[in-house]
């Protein structure tokens, strides 16, 4: 893994862009995620 994310790899591959599917997945996940604060605890609920 260290070789994949080394500085040399980043310099050679400057056009690193995520696929549209990945962006859509992350956006949809963040829209469905709800965090509920109750006293000193946090509950995460995925609202699908």
Sequence ranges of the domains in the chain: 7-46
Q: Look at residue 16 in the predicted model and tell me its pLDDT.
A: 72
CA distance 5 to 28: 27
What pLDDT, on the 0 to 100 scale, is given for residue 46?
86
Within 10 Å of residue 23's Cβ, how many Cβ atoms?
11
> b/e for 29-40, b at 16 or more Cβ within 10 A?
eeeeeeeeeeee
Q: What is the pLDDT of residue 5?
A: 63
Q: What pLDDT, in 10s, does the model give residues 12-22? A: 766 778 899 99
pTM of full prediction above 0.85: no
The string of pLDDT tens digits covering residues 14-43 is 677 889 999 999 999 889 989 899 999 999
State yes or no: pLDDT of 4 exceeds 70: no
């Amino acid at each position: 893994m260290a070789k994949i994310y080394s500085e040399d790899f980043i310099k050679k591959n400057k056009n690193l862009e995520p696929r549209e599917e990945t962006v859509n997945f992350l956006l949809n996940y963040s829209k469905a995620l709800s965090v509920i604060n109750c006293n000193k605890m946090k509950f995460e609920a995925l609202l699908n």
